[in-house]
Structure 1
Amino acid sequence: MISKISIENIASYKAMTTLETDKKVNVVYGLNGSGKSTLSNFLYQLDTPEYQDCSVEMSKGTSLYVYNQKFIEENFYEADNLKGIFSLSKENKNIENDIASTQEQLKTQLLEEEKEQDFTNAERKSIVTKRLKACGITWEIKQEFTGGDRILEGFLDGLKGNKETFYAYLSNLSKPDLKPDKDMAQLKADVEALRGDTAQTYSLLNLLGFDEHEIESDPIFEQVIVGNTNSSVSALMTL
Protein backbone atom coordinates (compact mmCIF):
# COMPACT_ATOMS: atom_id res chain seq x y z
CA MET A 1 0.00 0.00 0.00
CA ILE A 2 0.98 3.67 -0.33
CA SER A 3 2.70 5.16 2.71
CA LYS A 4 3.84 8.58 1.49
CA ILE A 5 3.19 10.97 -1.40
CA SER A 6 5.33 14.07 -1.96
CA ILE A 7 4.32 16.71 -4.54
CA GLU A 8 6.16 19.89 -5.50
CA ASN A 9 6.41 22.38 -8.41
CA ILE A 10 3.21 21.32 -10.16
CA ALA A 11 -0.13 23.13 -10.45
CA SER A 12 -1.15 24.50 -7.03
CA TYR A 13 1.71 22.69 -5.24
CA LYS A 14 4.38 25.40 -5.37
CA ALA A 15 6.06 24.22 -2.17
CA MET A 16 6.67 20.65 -1.08
CA THR A 17 3.47 19.02 0.17
CA THR A 18 3.57 15.59 1.81
CA LEU A 19 0.78 13.15 2.53
CA GLU A 20 1.73 10.30 4.90
CA THR A 21 -0.57 7.46 5.91
CA ASP A 22 -0.55 3.96 7.38
CA LYS A 23 -4.13 3.20 6.39
CA LYS A 24 -5.28 0.92 3.57
CA VAL A 25 -8.20 3.20 2.78
CA ASN A 26 -7.73 6.95 2.64
CA VAL A 27 -10.14 9.71 1.58
CA VAL A 28 -8.75 12.93 0.14
CA TYR A 29 -11.18 15.83 -0.11
CA GLY A 30 -11.01 19.57 -0.61
CA LEU A 31 -12.35 22.58 -2.46
CA ASN A 32 -12.15 22.95 -6.21
CA GLY A 33 -8.61 23.89 -7.24
CA SER A 34 -7.08 22.58 -4.05
CA GLY A 35 -5.06 19.90 -5.92
CA LYS A 36 -7.10 16.67 -5.79
CA SER A 37 -6.92 16.13 -9.59
CA THR A 38 -3.19 16.92 -9.63
CA LEU A 39 -2.65 14.24 -6.97
CA SER A 40 -4.59 11.60 -8.93
CA ASN A 41 -2.93 12.58 -12.21
CA PHE A 42 0.50 12.13 -10.64
CA LEU A 43 -0.41 8.62 -9.46
CA TYR A 44 -1.86 7.84 -12.90
CA GLN A 45 1.31 8.81 -14.78
CA LEU A 46 4.27 8.70 -12.44
CA ASP A 47 6.91 8.86 -15.18
CA THR A 48 5.64 12.06 -16.80
CA PRO A 49 8.40 14.74 -16.85
CA GLU A 50 6.14 17.39 -15.37
CA TYR A 51 6.06 15.35 -12.12
CA GLN A 52 9.84 15.01 -11.85
CA ASP A 53 9.86 16.74 -8.44
CA CYS A 54 7.18 14.44 -7.05
CA SER A 55 7.57 11.00 -5.48
CA VAL A 56 5.56 8.18 -3.95
CA GLU A 57 6.56 5.55 -1.39
CA MET A 58 4.68 2.26 -1.25
CA SER A 59 5.22 -1.29 -0.13
CA LYS A 60 6.94 -3.73 -2.47
CA GLY A 61 4.64 -5.38 -5.00
CA THR A 62 2.01 -2.66 -4.81
CA SER A 63 0.22 -1.95 -8.13
CA LEU A 64 -1.40 1.40 -8.80
CA TYR A 65 -4.82 1.57 -10.45
CA VAL A 66 -6.18 5.07 -10.89
CA TYR A 67 -9.66 5.82 -12.12
CA ASN A 68 -9.89 9.54 -12.91
CA GLN A 69 -10.78 11.84 -15.79
CA LYS A 70 -7.60 11.04 -17.71
CA PHE A 71 -8.34 7.32 -17.48
CA ILE A 72 -11.86 7.95 -18.85
CA GLU A 73 -10.52 10.06 -21.72
CA GLU A 74 -7.99 7.42 -22.72
CA ASN A 75 -10.11 4.30 -22.26
CA PHE A 76 -13.70 5.28 -22.94
CA TYR A 77 -15.46 6.98 -25.81
CA GLU A 78 -18.52 9.16 -25.37
CA ALA A 79 -20.50 9.56 -28.60
CA ASP A 80 -21.72 13.08 -29.28
CA ASN A 81 -25.24 11.86 -29.91
CA LEU A 82 -25.32 9.70 -26.76
CA LYS A 83 -24.15 11.90 -23.90
CA GLY A 84 -23.45 9.97 -20.70
CA ILE A 85 -23.17 6.61 -22.51
CA PHE A 86 -19.60 5.32 -22.91
CA SER A 87 -18.09 2.60 -25.08
CA LEU A 88 -15.50 0.41 -23.36
CA SER A 89 -11.90 -0.26 -24.45
CA LYS A 90 -9.18 2.06 -25.60
CA GLU A 91 -9.22 0.43 -29.04
CA ASN A 92 -12.86 1.38 -29.57
CA LYS A 93 -12.11 4.92 -28.52
CA ASN A 94 -9.23 5.14 -31.01
CA ILE A 95 -11.38 3.71 -33.79
CA GLU A 96 -14.19 6.12 -33.03
CA ASN A 97 -11.75 9.02 -32.96
CA ASP A 98 -10.31 7.91 -36.31
CA ILE A 99 -13.81 7.77 -37.76
CA ALA A 100 -14.58 11.24 -36.45
CA SER A 101 -11.29 12.57 -37.85
CA THR A 102 -11.95 10.95 -41.23
CA GLN A 103 -15.45 12.41 -41.31
CA GLU A 104 -14.00 15.87 -40.67
CA GLN A 105 -11.50 15.35 -43.49
CA LEU A 106 -14.32 14.19 -45.75
CA LYS A 107 -16.37 17.25 -44.85
CA THR A 108 -13.39 19.47 -45.65
CA GLN A 109 -12.87 17.66 -48.96
CA LEU A 110 -16.54 18.05 -49.87
CA LEU A 111 -16.33 21.76 -49.13
CA GLU A 112 -13.25 22.05 -51.36
CA GLU A 113 -15.00 20.14 -54.15
CA GLU A 114 -18.04 22.40 -53.76
CA LYS A 115 -15.80 25.46 -54.11
CA GLU A 116 -14.14 23.95 -57.19
CA GLN A 117 -17.55 23.21 -58.69
CA ASP A 118 -18.73 26.74 -58.02
CA PHE A 119 -15.56 28.07 -59.67
CA THR A 120 -16.07 25.76 -62.68
CA ASN A 121 -19.69 26.82 -63.04
CA ALA A 122 -18.66 30.48 -62.87
CA GLU A 123 -16.02 29.91 -65.56
CA ARG A 124 -18.52 28.12 -67.79
CA LYS A 125 -21.01 30.94 -67.32
CA SER A 126 -18.28 33.45 -68.19
CA ILE A 127 -17.38 31.51 -71.35
CA VAL A 128 -21.03 31.35 -72.42
CA THR A 129 -21.41 35.09 -71.83
CA LYS A 130 -18.26 35.88 -73.82
CA ARG A 131 -19.36 33.56 -76.65
CA LEU A 132 -22.75 35.25 -76.90
CA LYS A 133 -21.02 38.63 -76.99
CA ALA A 134 -18.66 37.42 -79.74
CA CYS A 135 -21.63 36.06 -81.71
CA GLY A 136 -23.33 39.45 -81.52
CA ILE A 137 -20.21 41.35 -82.61
CA THR A 138 -19.50 39.08 -85.60
CA TRP A 139 -23.16 39.28 -86.63
CA GLU A 140 -23.03 43.07 -86.57
CA ILE A 141 -19.91 43.02 -88.75
CA LYS A 142 -21.62 40.62 -91.14
CA GLN A 143 -24.64 42.87 -91.46
CA GLU A 144 -22.42 45.91 -92.04
CA PHE A 145 -20.57 44.40 -94.99
CA THR A 146 -23.37 42.37 -96.58
CA GLY A 147 -26.08 45.03 -96.60
CA GLY A 148 -26.66 47.65 -99.26
CA ASP A 149 -24.93 46.54 -102.47
CA ARG A 150 -24.86 42.89 -101.24
CA ILE A 151 -21.77 42.24 -103.38
CA LEU A 152 -20.22 39.90 -100.79
CA GLU A 153 -23.45 38.24 -99.72
CA GLY A 154 -22.92 35.24 -101.99
CA PHE A 155 -19.97 34.08 -99.89
CA LEU A 156 -22.28 33.56 -96.91
CA ASP A 157 -24.81 31.16 -98.41
CA GLY A 158 -26.22 28.99 -95.62
CA LEU A 159 -24.76 31.26 -92.92
CA LYS A 160 -27.07 34.27 -93.04
CA GLY A 161 -29.88 33.11 -90.81
CA ASN A 162 -28.26 32.08 -87.51
CA LYS A 163 -25.72 33.86 -85.32
CA GLU A 164 -24.43 30.65 -83.71
CA THR A 165 -23.95 28.88 -87.06
CA PHE A 166 -22.17 31.91 -88.48
CA TYR A 167 -19.88 32.24 -85.45
CA ALA A 168 -19.10 28.49 -85.39
CA TYR A 169 -18.14 28.65 -89.08
CA LEU A 170 -15.81 31.60 -88.50
CA SER A 171 -14.25 29.93 -85.43
CA ASN A 172 -13.25 26.89 -87.48
CA LEU A 173 -11.51 28.90 -90.19
CA SER A 174 -7.72 28.98 -90.23
CA LYS A 175 -6.51 32.39 -89.15
CA PRO A 176 -3.91 34.09 -91.41
CA ASP A 177 -0.50 34.86 -89.95
CA LEU A 178 -0.40 38.28 -91.61
CA LYS A 179 -2.98 41.03 -91.87
CA PRO A 180 -4.72 41.01 -95.30
CA ASP A 181 -3.36 43.69 -97.63
CA LYS A 182 -6.76 44.42 -99.18
CA ASP A 183 -9.58 46.33 -97.53
CA MET A 184 -13.30 45.76 -98.02
CA ALA A 185 -13.53 48.28 -100.87
CA GLN A 186 -10.83 46.44 -102.83
CA LEU A 187 -12.43 43.06 -102.20
CA LYS A 188 -15.79 44.35 -103.43
CA ALA A 189 -14.08 45.78 -106.54
CA ASP A 190 -12.48 42.42 -107.27
CA VAL A 191 -15.78 40.58 -106.87
CA GLU A 192 -17.58 43.15 -109.03
CA ALA A 193 -14.95 42.71 -111.75
CA LEU A 194 -15.56 38.94 -111.74
CA ARG A 195 -19.33 38.76 -111.75
CA GLY A 196 -20.79 42.25 -111.80
CA ASP A 197 -22.47 44.12 -114.64
CA THR A 198 -19.06 45.28 -115.93
CA ALA A 199 -17.42 41.86 -115.66
CA GLN A 200 -15.42 40.81 -118.72
CA THR A 201 -15.80 37.37 -120.22
CA TYR A 202 -12.69 35.66 -121.51
CA SER A 203 -12.72 32.73 -123.95
CA LEU A 204 -11.24 29.50 -122.78
CA LEU A 205 -7.83 28.45 -124.05
CA ASN A 206 -7.80 25.74 -126.71
CA LEU A 207 -6.62 22.37 -125.54
CA LEU A 208 -3.21 21.40 -126.83
CA GLY A 209 -2.99 18.14 -128.76
CA PHE A 210 -0.03 15.74 -128.70
CA ASP A 211 -0.28 12.84 -131.17
CA GLU A 212 3.38 11.88 -131.44
CA HIS A 213 2.85 8.79 -129.32
CA GLU A 214 0.79 7.27 -132.17
CA ILE A 215 4.01 6.65 -134.13
CA GLU A 216 4.63 3.64 -131.99
CA SER A 217 1.63 1.91 -133.59
CA ASP A 218 3.08 2.28 -137.13
CA PRO A 219 3.31 -1.13 -138.89
CA ILE A 220 6.98 -0.57 -139.68
CA PHE A 221 7.79 -1.19 -136.06
CA GLU A 222 6.27 -4.66 -136.34
CA GLN A 223 9.08 -5.79 -138.70
CA VAL A 224 11.89 -7.87 -137.23
CA ILE A 225 15.30 -6.68 -138.32
CA VAL A 226 18.15 -9.18 -138.33
CA GLY A 227 21.57 -7.63 -138.59
CA ASN A 228 25.07 -8.85 -139.17
CA THR A 229 26.95 -9.39 -135.97
CA ASN A 230 30.05 -8.09 -137.72
CA SER A 231 28.41 -4.80 -138.59
CA SER A 232 29.64 -1.69 -136.81
CA VAL A 233 26.05 -0.81 -135.88
CA SER A 234 25.04 -4.27 -134.68
CA ALA A 235 25.33 -3.19 -131.10
CA LEU A 236 22.60 -0.62 -131.69
CA MET A 237 20.12 -3.09 -133.16
CA THR A 238 17.58 -4.89 -131.02
CA LEU A 239 16.65 -8.46 -131.95
Structure 2
Amino acid sequence: MLNRILLRNVSSYSPTSVVSVGPLKRVSVFYGQNGTGKTTIGNYLQAPADTKFSECQLEPVKEREILVYNHSFMEKNFHEEASQPGVFTLNEENIEAEKAIADAEAAINLLTGTLDAHMMAGKEAKAAQELAKDKLKDSIWKHKTPFDNSPLAYCFNRLNTKERVLDAVAQVALAPTTDTPDALRAEAAALHGASDVVLPAIPSIKFTGGEIEADLILVEVISGSGDSYLSALIQEFGNSDWVKHALKFESHAKDQCPLCQQSLPQDFYGEVRKVFDVTYEKRLAALNALQQRYQGAVEQLLRQCNGPTYEIEAIQIHAVNLRALLQRNLQILETKVSNPTTAVSLDSRETLKKASRFGEIPASQESN
Protein backbone atom coordinates (compact mmCIF):
# COMPACT_ATOMS: atom_id res chain seq x y z
CA MET A 1 0.00 0.00 0.00
CA LEU A 2 1.27 3.50 -0.85
CA ASN A 3 2.17 5.61 2.13
CA ARG A 4 3.25 8.91 0.55
CA ILE A 5 3.41 10.67 -2.88
CA LEU A 6 6.22 13.20 -3.47
CA LEU A 7 5.68 15.69 -6.36
CA ARG A 8 8.06 18.34 -7.82
CA ASN A 9 8.54 20.20 -11.10
CA VAL A 10 5.49 18.77 -12.83
CA SER A 11 2.40 20.68 -14.00
CA SER A 12 1.24 23.08 -11.26
CA TYR A 13 3.71 21.78 -8.66
CA SER A 14 6.79 23.84 -7.65
CA PRO A 15 9.98 23.20 -9.62
CA THR A 16 12.16 23.70 -6.56
CA SER A 17 10.35 22.40 -3.49
CA VAL A 18 8.82 18.93 -2.96
CA VAL A 19 5.09 18.66 -2.21
CA SER A 20 4.40 15.65 0.05
CA VAL A 21 0.92 14.11 -0.18
CA GLY A 22 0.40 11.82 2.79
CA PRO A 23 0.33 9.91 4.94
CA LEU A 24 -2.17 7.95 2.84
CA LYS A 25 -4.79 5.60 4.30
CA ARG A 26 -6.51 2.57 2.82
CA VAL A 27 -9.09 5.03 1.51
CA SER A 28 -7.95 8.58 0.74
CA VAL A 29 -10.07 11.33 -0.87
CA PHE A 30 -8.49 14.17 -2.88
CA TYR A 31 -10.57 17.31 -3.39
CA GLY A 32 -9.86 20.91 -4.38
CA GLN A 33 -10.45 23.54 -7.03
CA ASN A 34 -9.64 23.03 -10.67
CA GLY A 35 -5.94 23.40 -11.49
CA THR A 36 -4.73 22.43 -8.02
CA GLY A 37 -3.09 19.16 -9.23
CA LYS A 38 -5.64 16.36 -8.67
CA THR A 39 -5.41 15.08 -12.24
CA THR A 40 -1.60 15.27 -12.11
CA ILE A 41 -1.62 12.85 -9.14
CA GLY A 42 -3.80 10.38 -11.09
CA ASN A 43 -1.64 10.64 -14.19
CA TYR A 44 1.52 10.06 -12.13
CA LEU A 45 0.09 7.00 -10.47
CA GLN A 46 -0.99 5.68 -13.86
CA ALA A 47 2.41 6.19 -15.55
CA PRO A 48 5.13 6.85 -12.96
CA ALA A 49 7.85 5.96 -15.49
CA ASP A 50 6.91 8.87 -17.76
CA THR A 51 9.88 11.30 -18.10
CA LYS A 52 7.81 14.26 -17.06
CA PHE A 53 7.53 12.69 -13.59
CA SER A 54 11.29 12.15 -13.28
CA GLU A 55 11.50 14.30 -10.13
CA CYS A 56 8.48 12.64 -8.47
CA GLN A 57 8.62 9.68 -6.12
CA LEU A 58 6.39 7.11 -4.38
CA GLU A 59 6.95 5.82 -0.85
CA PRO A 60 7.39 3.02 -0.71
CA VAL A 61 8.47 2.35 -4.25
CA LYS A 62 5.55 0.58 -5.98
CA GLU A 63 5.87 -3.20 -6.20
CA ARG A 64 2.88 -3.89 -8.41
CA GLU A 65 0.90 -2.26 -11.20
CA ILE A 66 -1.36 0.59 -10.14
CA LEU A 67 -4.62 0.92 -12.03
CA VAL A 68 -6.12 4.40 -12.31
CA TYR A 69 -9.59 4.59 -13.81
CA ASN A 70 -9.40 8.15 -15.17
CA HIS A 71 -9.95 9.89 -18.45
CA SER A 72 -6.73 8.51 -19.92
CA PHE A 73 -7.89 4.95 -19.11
CA MET A 74 -11.20 5.61 -20.87
CA GLU A 75 -9.46 6.97 -23.99
CA LYS A 76 -7.10 4.01 -24.05
CA ASN A 77 -9.67 1.28 -23.70
CA PHE A 78 -12.84 2.79 -25.15
CA HIS A 79 -13.72 5.07 -28.07
CA GLU A 80 -16.86 6.98 -28.77
CA GLU A 81 -18.84 6.24 -31.92
CA ALA A 82 -19.28 9.49 -33.86
CA SER A 83 -22.63 8.36 -35.23
CA GLN A 84 -24.15 7.79 -31.82
CA PRO A 85 -22.75 9.97 -29.03
CA GLY A 86 -22.67 8.34 -25.61
CA VAL A 87 -22.31 4.73 -26.96
CA PHE A 88 -18.90 3.13 -26.41
CA THR A 89 -17.47 -0.09 -27.97
CA LEU A 90 -14.53 -2.32 -26.98
CA ASN A 91 -11.25 -1.81 -28.75
CA GLU A 92 -9.46 -4.55 -30.76
CA GLU A 93 -7.70 -6.13 -27.77
CA ASN A 94 -10.90 -6.42 -25.79
CA ILE A 95 -12.75 -7.82 -28.80
CA GLU A 96 -10.21 -10.65 -28.95
CA ALA A 97 -10.61 -11.20 -25.22
CA GLU A 98 -14.37 -11.34 -25.64
CA LYS A 99 -13.95 -13.98 -28.42
CA ALA A 100 -11.60 -16.03 -26.22
CA ILE A 101 -14.18 -15.89 -23.44
CA ALA A 102 -16.91 -17.01 -25.81
CA ASP A 103 -14.76 -19.90 -27.08
CA ALA A 104 -13.98 -20.92 -23.53
CA GLU A 105 -17.66 -20.86 -22.61
CA ALA A 106 -18.46 -23.00 -25.66
CA ALA A 107 -15.76 -25.50 -24.64
CA ILE A 108 -17.13 -25.55 -21.10
CA ASN A 109 -20.60 -26.21 -22.43
CA LEU A 110 -19.28 -29.07 -24.59
CA LEU A 111 -17.38 -30.61 -21.68
CA THR A 112 -20.41 -30.19 -19.46
CA GLY A 113 -22.53 -32.05 -22.00
CA THR A 114 -19.93 -34.84 -22.21
CA LEU A 115 -19.76 -35.04 -18.43
CA ASP A 116 -23.53 -35.23 -18.17
CA ALA A 117 -23.56 -38.05 -20.74
CA HIS A 118 -20.90 -39.98 -18.83
CA MET A 119 -22.72 -39.44 -15.55
CA MET A 120 -25.94 -40.73 -17.09
CA ALA A 121 -24.14 -43.77 -18.55
CA GLY A 122 -22.54 -44.43 -15.16
CA LYS A 123 -25.91 -44.28 -13.41
CA GLU A 124 -27.41 -46.64 -15.96
CA ALA A 125 -24.47 -49.07 -15.60
CA LYS A 126 -24.75 -48.97 -11.81
CA ALA A 127 -28.48 -49.62 -12.02
CA ALA A 128 -27.87 -52.57 -14.37
CA GLN A 129 -25.18 -53.92 -12.02
CA GLU A 130 -27.49 -53.68 -9.02
CA LEU A 131 -30.24 -55.44 -10.97
CA ALA A 132 -27.86 -58.23 -12.00
CA LYS A 133 -26.66 -58.59 -8.41
CA ASP A 134 -30.25 -58.85 -7.15
CA LYS A 135 -30.98 -61.56 -9.74
CA LEU A 136 -27.82 -63.43 -8.69
CA LYS A 137 -28.81 -63.26 -5.01
CA ASP A 138 -32.29 -64.56 -5.84
CA SER A 139 -30.80 -67.41 -7.88
CA ILE A 140 -28.38 -68.47 -5.13
CA TRP A 141 -31.09 -68.17 -2.49
CA LYS A 142 -33.24 -70.63 -4.47
CA HIS A 143 -30.44 -73.20 -4.24
CA LYS A 144 -30.19 -72.65 -0.49
CA THR A 145 -33.94 -73.00 0.19
CA PRO A 146 -34.16 -76.82 -0.28
CA PHE A 147 -31.72 -77.27 2.60
CA ASP A 148 -33.99 -75.46 5.06
CA ASN A 149 -35.50 -77.82 7.65
CA SER A 150 -33.14 -80.58 6.46
CA PRO A 151 -30.27 -82.30 8.32
CA LEU A 152 -27.94 -79.79 6.60
CA ALA A 153 -29.80 -76.72 7.86
CA TYR A 154 -27.11 -76.16 10.51
CA CYS A 155 -24.68 -75.26 7.71
CA PHE A 156 -26.77 -72.13 7.03
CA ASN A 157 -27.34 -70.97 10.62
CA ARG A 158 -25.80 -67.53 10.08
CA LEU A 159 -26.65 -67.27 6.40
CA ASN A 160 -30.11 -65.87 7.00
CA THR A 161 -30.07 -63.14 4.33
CA LYS A 162 -29.49 -63.18 0.60
CA GLU A 163 -26.52 -60.83 0.98
CA ARG A 164 -24.79 -63.15 3.47
CA VAL A 165 -25.38 -66.20 1.31
CA LEU A 166 -23.87 -64.40 -1.69
CA ASP A 167 -20.81 -63.35 0.34
CA ALA A 168 -20.32 -66.90 1.59
CA VAL A 169 -20.56 -68.38 -1.91
CA ALA A 170 -18.10 -65.81 -3.27
CA GLN A 171 -15.46 -67.02 -0.77
CA VAL A 172 -15.74 -70.70 -1.72
CA ALA A 173 -12.87 -71.92 -3.90
CA LEU A 174 -14.00 -73.82 -6.99
CA ALA A 175 -12.93 -77.47 -6.94
CA PRO A 176 -14.25 -80.69 -8.50
CA THR A 177 -16.25 -82.91 -6.15
CA THR A 178 -18.25 -86.12 -6.28
CA ASP A 179 -20.52 -85.09 -3.41
CA THR A 180 -24.23 -84.83 -4.13
CA PRO A 181 -26.93 -83.05 -2.08
CA ASP A 182 -28.72 -86.34 -1.37
CA ALA A 183 -25.53 -88.04 -0.17
CA LEU A 184 -24.66 -85.09 2.07
CA ARG A 185 -28.17 -85.05 3.53
CA ALA A 186 -27.96 -88.77 4.27
CA GLU A 187 -24.56 -88.40 5.92
CA ALA A 188 -25.78 -85.47 8.01
CA ALA A 189 -28.88 -87.40 9.05
CA ALA A 190 -26.72 -90.33 10.15
CA LEU A 191 -24.51 -88.00 12.18
CA HIS A 192 -27.54 -86.39 13.84
CA GLY A 193 -28.87 -89.80 14.77
CA ALA A 194 -25.59 -91.02 16.25
CA SER A 195 -24.93 -91.00 19.95
CA ASP A 196 -22.36 -88.79 21.58
CA VAL A 197 -20.48 -91.74 23.13
CA VAL A 198 -16.77 -91.53 22.41
CA LEU A 199 -15.63 -94.64 20.54
CA PRO A 200 -12.25 -96.17 21.34
CA ALA A 201 -9.48 -95.32 18.94
CA ILE A 202 -8.28 -97.99 16.52
CA PRO A 203 -4.74 -99.10 17.46
CA SER A 204 -2.00 -98.29 15.00
CA ILE A 205 -0.75 -100.95 12.63
CA LYS A 206 2.94 -101.61 13.26
CA PHE A 207 5.36 -103.16 10.79
CA THR A 208 8.93 -103.76 11.87
CA GLY A 209 10.33 -104.99 8.56
CA GLY A 210 10.32 -101.71 6.72
CA GLU A 211 14.06 -101.17 6.71
CA ILE A 212 14.62 -104.63 5.17
CA GLU A 213 12.97 -103.57 1.92
CA ALA A 214 15.74 -101.02 1.30
CA ASP A 215 18.65 -103.27 2.28
CA LEU A 216 21.44 -103.07 -0.31
CA ILE A 217 22.04 -106.82 -0.19
CA LEU A 218 18.93 -107.24 -2.32
CA VAL A 219 20.62 -105.59 -5.31
CA GLU A 220 24.02 -107.15 -4.62
CA VAL A 221 25.26 -109.86 -6.98
CA ILE A 222 26.42 -112.52 -4.52
CA SER A 223 28.86 -114.78 -6.35
CA GLY A 224 31.85 -116.93 -5.51
CA SER A 225 35.50 -115.92 -5.29
CA GLY A 226 38.14 -116.12 -8.03
CA ASP A 227 40.60 -118.37 -6.16
CA SER A 228 39.70 -121.50 -8.14
CA TYR A 229 40.60 -122.28 -11.74
CA LEU A 230 36.86 -122.89 -12.19
CA SER A 231 35.89 -119.36 -11.11
CA ALA A 232 36.28 -117.73 -14.50
CA LEU A 233 34.33 -120.51 -16.23
CA ILE A 234 31.47 -120.35 -13.74
CA GLN A 235 31.31 -116.55 -14.02
CA GLU A 236 31.46 -116.76 -17.83
CA PHE A 237 28.48 -119.13 -17.95
CA GLY A 238 26.64 -117.10 -15.29
CA ASN A 239 25.44 -120.27 -13.60
CA SER A 240 27.08 -120.07 -10.18
CA ASP A 241 23.72 -120.61 -8.45
CA TRP A 242 23.20 -123.86 -10.37
CA VAL A 243 26.73 -125.04 -9.52
CA LYS A 244 26.20 -124.19 -5.84
CA HIS A 245 23.04 -126.31 -5.75
CA ALA A 246 24.89 -129.21 -7.41
CA LEU A 247 27.28 -129.52 -4.42
CA LYS A 248 24.58 -131.37 -2.48
CA PHE A 249 25.00 -134.34 -4.84
CA GLU A 250 28.70 -134.77 -3.99
CA SER A 251 28.17 -137.62 -1.56
CA HIS A 252 26.24 -139.61 -4.18
CA ALA A 253 28.40 -138.87 -7.22
CA LYS A 254 31.82 -139.65 -5.73
CA ASP A 255 34.34 -138.95 -8.53
CA GLN A 256 31.77 -138.82 -11.30
CA CYS A 257 29.55 -136.03 -12.59
CA PRO A 258 26.08 -136.49 -11.03
CA LEU A 259 24.46 -135.67 -14.37
CA CYS A 260 26.54 -137.23 -17.18
CA GLN A 261 28.32 -139.87 -15.04
CA GLN A 262 31.71 -138.98 -16.57
CA SER A 263 34.85 -139.02 -14.46
CA LEU A 264 35.79 -135.73 -12.80
CA PRO A 265 39.28 -134.22 -12.46
CA GLN A 266 41.14 -134.79 -9.23
CA ASP A 267 39.85 -132.66 -6.31
CA PHE A 268 37.15 -131.22 -8.55
CA TYR A 269 34.73 -130.65 -5.67
CA GLY A 270 37.51 -128.97 -3.66
CA GLU A 271 38.04 -126.48 -6.44
CA VAL A 272 34.29 -125.84 -6.58
CA ARG A 273 34.25 -125.16 -2.82
CA LYS A 274 37.01 -122.57 -3.31
CA VAL A 275 34.59 -120.63 -5.47
CA PHE A 276 32.02 -120.57 -2.67
CA ASP A 277 34.37 -119.50 0.10
CA VAL A 278 33.74 -118.13 3.59
CA THR A 279 32.88 -114.65 2.34
CA TYR A 280 30.26 -116.08 0.01
CA GLU A 281 28.76 -118.17 2.81
CA LYS A 282 28.59 -115.13 5.12
CA ARG A 283 26.75 -113.08 2.52
CA LEU A 284 24.39 -115.98 1.90
CA ALA A 285 23.79 -116.34 5.64
CA ALA A 286 23.04 -112.62 5.91
CA LEU A 287 20.56 -112.94 3.05
CA ASN A 288 18.82 -115.87 4.73
CA ALA A 289 18.64 -113.98 8.04
CA LEU A 290 17.12 -111.03 6.21
CA GLN A 291 14.48 -113.27 4.69
CA GLN A 292 13.59 -114.79 8.08
CA ARG A 293 13.28 -111.36 9.71
CA TYR A 294 11.02 -110.11 6.97
CA GLN A 295 8.94 -113.30 7.15
CA GLY A 296 8.48 -112.79 10.89
CA ALA A 297 7.55 -109.13 10.49
CA VAL A 298 4.96 -109.98 7.83
CA GLU A 299 3.40 -112.72 9.99
CA GLN A 300 3.20 -110.35 12.95
CA LEU A 301 1.53 -107.64 10.84
CA LEU A 302 -0.99 -110.05 9.34
CA ARG A 303 -1.93 -111.30 12.82
CA GLN A 304 -2.69 -107.70 13.77
CA CYS A 305 -4.86 -107.26 10.69
CA ASN A 306 -6.83 -110.40 11.57
CA GLY A 307 -7.71 -109.04 15.02
CA PRO A 308 -11.36 -108.16 15.84
CA THR A 309 -10.49 -104.46 16.04
CA TYR A 310 -9.97 -104.34 12.29
CA GLU A 311 -13.04 -106.37 11.26
CA ILE A 312 -14.48 -103.37 9.49
CA GLU A 313 -15.25 -103.50 5.79
CA ALA A 314 -13.49 -100.21 5.03
CA ILE A 315 -10.33 -101.49 6.76
CA GLN A 316 -10.43 -105.01 5.37
CA ILE A 317 -10.44 -103.67 1.80
CA HIS A 318 -7.03 -102.11 2.47
CA ALA A 319 -5.89 -105.15 4.47
CA VAL A 320 -6.43 -107.42 1.46
CA ASN A 321 -4.25 -105.16 -0.69
CA LEU A 322 -1.64 -105.07 2.06
CA ARG A 323 -1.50 -108.90 2.32
CA ALA A 324 -1.09 -109.23 -1.45
CA LEU A 325 1.75 -106.73 -1.49
CA LEU A 326 3.60 -108.41 1.37
CA GLN A 327 3.19 -111.85 -0.21
CA ARG A 328 4.77 -110.54 -3.41
CA ASN A 329 7.72 -109.23 -1.41
CA LEU A 330 8.14 -112.64 0.25
CA GLN A 331 8.20 -114.34 -3.15
CA ILE A 332 10.80 -111.89 -4.39
CA LEU A 333 12.96 -112.63 -1.32
CA GLU A 334 12.62 -116.35 -1.95
CA THR A 335 13.85 -115.78 -5.51
CA LYS A 336 16.87 -113.86 -4.20
CA VAL A 337 17.77 -116.61 -1.70
CA SER A 338 17.50 -119.29 -4.40
CA ASN A 339 19.53 -117.22 -6.89
CA PRO A 340 21.93 -114.93 -4.95
CA THR A 341 23.39 -113.51 -8.15
CA THR A 342 20.03 -112.00 -9.08
CA ALA A 343 19.43 -108.35 -8.14
CA VAL A 344 15.88 -107.76 -6.87
CA SER A 345 13.86 -104.94 -5.32
CA LEU A 346 10.86 -105.08 -3.02
CA ASP A 347 7.86 -102.82 -3.27
CA SER A 348 8.82 -99.37 -2.02
CA ARG A 349 8.01 -98.08 1.44
CA GLU A 350 5.85 -95.27 0.03
CA THR A 351 3.85 -97.71 -2.09
CA LEU A 352 3.22 -99.89 0.94
CA LYS A 353 2.17 -96.87 3.02
CA LYS A 354 -0.45 -95.93 0.45
CA ALA A 355 -1.69 -99.51 0.30
CA SER A 356 -1.92 -99.86 4.10
CA ARG A 357 -3.17 -96.42 5.09
CA PHE A 358 -6.08 -97.57 7.26
CA GLY A 359 -4.59 -96.59 10.61
CA GLU A 360 -2.30 -93.85 11.87
CA ILE A 361 1.28 -95.13 11.83
CA PRO A 362 3.48 -93.79 14.66
CA ALA A 363 6.59 -92.00 13.45
CA SER A 364 8.82 -94.47 15.29
CA GLN A 365 7.01 -97.46 13.75
CA GLU A 366 6.47 -96.42 10.15
CA SER A 367 4.50 -98.92 8.14
CA ASN A 368 5.97 -99.87 4.81
The TM-score bracket by the shorter chain reads 0.3 to 0.5
Q: Which has the larger radius of gyration?
A: 2
Say which structure is richer in helix. Answer: 2
- TM-score normalised by length of structure 2: 0.29
